Structure 1
Amino acid sequence: MRLGIEITSRCNARCAHCSAACGPQRTATLGTDELCAVMDQAAALNTGQLEFALTGGEPFLDLAQLRALIAHGQALGAIVGCVSNGFWATSVSRGVEVLAPLAEAGLRLLGISSSRFHRAFVPAERVAHALQAARQCGLRTVLKQAVIEADLSSAPDADLSAAAVWADEVESFAVIGPGRSQGAVADHELIRPRGIPLGRCPSEDTMIAADGRVLACCSSGPVSELHTLGDIHTATLARALDRLRRDPVHQRLRAVGPASFLPAVVRAGHQDRLREGYVDTCDLCTHLASDPQLASVVRDSAHETHPERSPRGA
């Protein structure tokens, strides 16, 4: 089992492409005790390798909580990773000061997010410092780069390219959707090839959002109730995962993919709400889930196919 945990929606940055609209004014934060309880539940349910991916917002804003969660995951035998924008690495030595206690507590993987949007708040040199410090602390690193059309047509950013040499892996992915608000990232800036992606949901992950929702998705962006499986404040993780297993929408998303719902969209007369192209299956799935009329068609179509499965809204 791999469980993503969005510790907080608070962030030192307000990146335009952030679909979860994280920022300094956001206040949704989960407590250490309740998160440890959820991690215990995950460990009790898990039969294979357990992984916890700690994210935000910016989880490094509360180093004491982050270290406690890492140590708890380590005690449960889990592989623990986290994602940050690297703002704290004002120098390599400062980066080591921050990371060494986390590595000692059990942190194994560090993702550093950077893009033209991040660099409005975090200089590329801090990304390089964070990656170098992580290497000194024995952590495996991934440089996560969100890109738009301008990144494909312009020369590579020299500072970020210099930072990338310190990463064990570089993962580039296209920005999905309008970002933190409608129009924050213009449609023409998004990388959207024409056509419909036919793949199935690429992830088996579930995620705890900073407000306590359990999501059948690795993003807490605008996915509406369609991807919401429960809430850790009112129900157990086991109940949410059981809903994931029996819900016909998610069975189809993971078995054949979101494109399988498009015939029903056409029959309902909503084909004009679809776009001419999508980045990938995640982009298509997010669009279907975030548009109320399309989401309604998806839900109705799934339950018409499997009427014996969970009732709508269960």
Structure 2
Amino acid sequence: MARSYCCDGPALWSGTPWRRRLFLGLTTWCNARCEHCATDSSPAATARMGWDDALHILEQAAALGFELAVLSGGEVMGRFDEVLALVRQGARLGLRVWIESNGFWGGVADQARAAAHRLRDAGLEQLVFSTDAYHLPDVPLESFLRAVDAAEAVGLGYHVDMTESHLTEAHNELLAQLREAGIEPYIWVLSPLGRARDLPDRAFRSRPLASCGECDGLCFAFDPWARAWCCCNFRQHGQESRLSLGSLRGQTFTSLAHAYRTSHDVALIAAGALRHAPPDSAMARGGPCEVCQRMLGDPGLTDEWRKRCASDRRSAASEEWDRD
């Protein structure tokens, strides 16, 4: 029987309009070093956002009408007391606050439940758990399941994500174990981002560009260095990218937020540019992130896709953008 708090689709953003999404990449530290990690996180990575920056971002975001703040890494539960305080502050400001985690903290059941209870009481709305064949060497399934059990036991909303894997036997076995535990994960396509670029070509599926749908990564995002981006996969874009907005070190939050909300590139992507890709286009491997990079780097492709984003073809998401 499926668990009460599992979703049946991708949880991130939960229908929140593009203009009201906030993403804080608080750290590159992680207890795991997954070979598919898009953010190149690991136990040796040390970058972390300062407390003052994180607090300032939450306060300013709430004042400007942002609705949902996702706290991510790396693995933010490695800084539990600090992330707990950020959750409490975000909720006090009226933000819906979510945390992304691999569930490593479920090692001891009583301690996991105590942590989940404190997060719930601080105002956390949802835990977005991630597991897959690449996580298992560093995050045993038993610990992961205890973290999920802890969230359910205290009535904390949660969702389970899983990434497809070229480790087919391990992937299928894990999927069967999750389903046996009553969990139906949402399975994401594996894309050659971050450390995954070193995986063999057979790890990635070929598919038409038009099948990628719309990007679900659009958000006003900050990395651990307080640099602002239009995309939660900011590690995939260089400072010269048109999705790079600047830094809190040289600009105000308000000016950066205005740049995000008025970005033509973000509007183009939100309008379904990926969905309206030329029907004969295809790529050898990769997902929407690769398409976005190509689109932003090739004016010809951008023009072609812009033609396919005429007003009568715009998605509901783009219409929401226009109304907002």
TM-score by length of 1: 0.79
Tell me the amino acid that sits aligned with residue 208 of structure 1: F
Q: Does 1:192 align with 2:185?
A: no
Report how far residue 277 of structure 1 moved.
Answer: 4.3
Report how far residue 4 of structure 1 moved.
Answer: 1.1
Tell me the amino acid that sits aligned with residue 173 of structure 1: W
Contact 1:261 1:298 in 2 (8 A): no
Percent of aligned positions that are identical: 24
Contact 1:148 1:191 in 2 (8 A): no
TM-superposition CA deviations, 1:143-165 (whole Å, max 9, x none): 110113444997442433344x2
Report the more deviating stretch, 143-152 or 33-42: 143-152
Q: Does 1:8 align with 2:24?
A: no
Q: Does 1:72 align with 2:101?
A: no
Contact 2:204 2:285 in 1 (8 A): no
Does the residue aligned with 2:250 lie in a helix, a strand or coil? coil
Contact 1:16 1:179 in 2 (8 A): no
Write the distance in 1 (CA, Å) between the matches of 2:170 and 2:32. 26
Report the more deviating stretch, 239-248 or 21-30: 239-248
Unpaired runs of 5+ in structure 1?
Answer: 263-273, 290-294, 306-314
Q: Does 1:239 align with 2:258?
A: no
Report how far residue 236 of structure 1 moved.
Answer: 2.3
Does the residue aligned with 1:243 lie in a helix, a strand or coil? helix
Write the distance in 1 (CA, Å) between the matches of 2:275 and 2:119. 42
TM-superposition CA deviations, 1:216-238 (whole Å, max 9, x none): 11212312223112212322232
- Measured at CA, do residues 286 and 159 of structure 1 come closer, stay the same or move farther in structure 2, by a change above 3 Å? farther
Contact 2:192 2:286 in 1 (8 A): no
- Measured at CA, do residues 239 and 258 of structure 1 come closer, stay the same or move farther in structure 2, by a change above 3 Å? farther
Write the distance in 1 (CA, Å) between the matches of 2:166 and 2:208. 14
Match of 1:217 in 2: 231
Match of 2:291 in 1: 284
Match of 2:157 in 1: 140
Does the residue aligned with 1:115 lie in a helix, a strand or coil? coil
Report how far residue 45 of structure 1 moved.
Answer: 0.7
Contact 1:6 1:208 in 2 (8 A): yes
Contact 2:113 2:151 in 1 (8 A): yes
Unpaired runs of 5+ in structure 2?
Answer: 1-19, 308-324
Match of 1:161 in 2: 179
Write the distance in 2 (CA, Å) between the matches of 1:220 and 1:74. 25
Write the distance in 2 (CA, Å) between the matches of 1:7 and 1:79. 17
Higher relative CO (Cα under 8 Å, sequence separation at least 6) belongs to 2
Q: Does 1:226 align with 2:239?
A: no
